[in-house]
Amino acid sequence: MCATTRRREMDIGLIGLGKMGGNMRERLRRGGHTVVGYDRNPDLADVDSLADLVAALPSPKVVWVMVPAGAATQQTINELGELLGEGDVVVDGGNSRWTDDLEHAEQLAARGIGFVDCGVSGGVWGLENGYALMYGGDPEHVAKVQPVFDTLKPEGDFGSVHAGKVGAGHFSKMVHNGIEYAIMQSYAEGWELLEKVDMVENVTEVLRSWREGTVIRSWLLDLLVAALDDQPNLEGIRGYAEDSGEGRWTVEAGIEHAVATPAITAALYARFVSRQDDSPAMKAVAAMRNQFGGHAMQTSAPKGGDAPSAGRTDPEQSETARQAGSGAESSPAES
């Protein structure tokens, strides 16, 4: 994106100021934008209500929603539909299923309000590194949000894409997360195999050596090494990993379109198995999820006992539990 485009400034409303939403507000303000934020936690909010947020914005108004997928997003869309007017635009930057986007776009269009869906990846690192953005919607609606996309994205030529029609952004992010499942599972299984044999004496250094020059180098590999540096052999981590929804949706979409997704499906099923047995490979998956997204890890529990959380608290999950409703943070996702 050219420098002149990146310098364009605008006013935007942001709903949901948990870990990711709060960091996005800060990145936008650093980029020169005026951000009016609302959250059900008054300590985080700039205004007291959605009505105050909308009133504070010049027209045409752009409001970005970062709340949990499902009921909380639907409630927020309903309220914004009553508060906004013709020519305004709503962006859903949470983890909504793409089929919900189609319904929300139709609902808002009846009142002349545009809708853009945006898959966001970047986790706890997005404030400094930028967020990868995949968005869908009509070009005229996307154009009204473009200065914000340009500021949130990473530096350089990539990391942001108008993926297509409404729903394309969240569909693309869903597939992204499905691929992520499979990549993490492969690294985790490889780590477990290296640990199993006596002849490999420094597993962490083997993985570290792969970070340069090999065809399997990646940021996820970097994060696995970082996790092993923090906790050698991943001792104390329970081999348990949640799935955030997008993996299931990817497998379901593959079935619907007759596209085989065996690697993604196997990775999803491995997470299901992890909830029954303490899987060594799933310790690595849990550690990587914690590294990129701050997702909670569980400690190994004694027999007959429940495992408490360990490591960083899942920022999205804790916000959701504390602020259930339209002002909560986006629902947990991979990245």
Catalytic residue IDs: 173, 180
Degrees to nearest 5, angle at CA 86 with 82 and 88: 85
Torsion sign over Cα 133, 119, 22, 248 = negative
Starting from the edge strand earliest in sequence, which strands make up the sheet with 114-121, in order? 34-38, 11-15, 62-65, 89-92, 114-121, 132-136, 160-164
| Residue where the block lists tokens 């991943």 | 234
Distances (CA, A) of 307 to 180, 239, 300: 26, 11, 6
